[in-house]
Amino acid sequence: MGFRMGIVGLPNVGKSTLFNALTKTAAAQAANFPFCTIEPNVGEVAVPDARLDTLASIAKSQSIIPTRMTFVDIAGLVKGASKGEGLGNQFLANIRETDAIAHVLRCFEDDDVTHVDGRVDPVSDAETIETELIIADMESLEKRLQNIVRKVRGGDKEAVQQERLMKAALEMLEQGKPARLVEVDAEDLKQWKMLQLLTSKPVLYVCNVDEDEAATGNALSEAVARMAAEQGNAHVVISAKIEEEISQLDAEEAEMFLSELGLEEAGLDRLIRAGYELLHLETYFTVGPKEARAWTIRKGTLAPQAAGVIHGDFEKGFIRAETIAYEDFVANKGEAGAKEAGKMRAEGKTYTVKDGDVLHFLFNT
């Protein structure tokens, strides 16, 4: 499984430049004027994981298939988006279809790049977007509460549950706080997700800095870091310009370029890892002579459900999973060595798959 992360922000903060770098395409037109992205651009990107290359090398796999993530480049929101300002309503709907939000904030000064509000203040920009999403959620909930009154009066259990959750969300939003701060019980999670509230989605702040500040950040990105910590959200510091340049280079050239800039790795790698953490995702592997492949699951996934990510029949007919930890696979130079060393385990339906597990599923057809 993968997930969809929406890239949002005010106009001219570097969203489309970042998207171009992510997908290594010029599909999103990066231009110095608002609303250059009229339709959301969707791109899939391979998740970088050095472990996959190591496993493929040991198993002499013919092909390597990384797991993938989907990014959606959503046009710049402005103050009043919830009221339809700019191209607001259309883009609020696009955000609703994503699993998480990467909120790109301008943390660089450049007189040649217009700021929609005429000044550079990433914390204020973040508040502007958050306010628009809060207003949109409030309006959505107020309408939906009116629409389910009859069902609630009739004693419809699902409607009663929905009303309770919607009122809890509305109470939080009326305080100017996002819906993700509402404490939701396990039995309410399914209905809560069905509300599709914009402010219930986890947020990753992406601080877009100048090229010469990519390694150190600056005062603006530090202000964002403090804000993110106070909110319990995550943040990463990258230079979208650097990432776009790197995306056009081969691996050796990219490594040299990063080294010259004093960077250990590409910012996009950090961004993707932060996205994984944000949604509590992890990776397991299947390895053989034909292919070495990475699969994405949520943390806490049991073996049958992990098998179901490959094919539904694997989950239905699950018998057991032959499991080798990544470290044991590498230390013993592959499956045969791990087996001889007693490092392969047979795990049943109650086994919780761990990040890095190398798995082989046995199932009934």
Residues pairing with 281 in the sheet: 298
Which residue shows structure tokens 């990544």? Answer: 326
CA atoms of 200 and 130, how far apart (whole Å): 11
Burial of 270 (0-12, 13-18, 19+ CB in 10 A): middle
| DSSP per position, 34-94 | TT---S-EEEEEEPP-HHHHHHHHHHT-SEEE--EEEEEE-PPP-TTGGGT-TTHHHHHHH
Helices (H) and strands (E) in the chain, counts: 15, 12
15 is known to lie in a ligand binding site: yes
Q: What is the phi/psi pair of residue 133, to 5°? A: -70, -40
Rounded Cα gap, residues 169 and 183, in angstroms: 10
Q: Are strands 41-46 and 68-73 parallel, antiparallel or unpaired?
A: antiparallel
> Is 184 assigned to a binding site?
no
Tell me whether residue 13 is annotated as binding.
Answer: yes
Residue 210 sits at φ, ψ, to 5 deg, of: -65, 160
Q: Is 157 annotated as a binding residue?
A: no
Residue 307 backbone phi and psi in degrees, to 5: -65, -35
Burial label for 118, CB within 10 Å (0-12, 13-18, 19+), is exposed
Contact residues for 301 (Cβ-Cβ < 8 A; gap 6+): 352, 353
φ/ψ of residue 280, rounded to 5 = 55, 50
> How far is the CA of 195 from the CAs of 74, 164, 168, 356, in angstroms?
21, 12, 12, 33
Residue 168 and residue 197 in contact, taking contact as beta carbons nearer than 8 Å? no
Residue list, annotated binding site for ATP: 12-17
Residue list, annotated binding site: 12-17
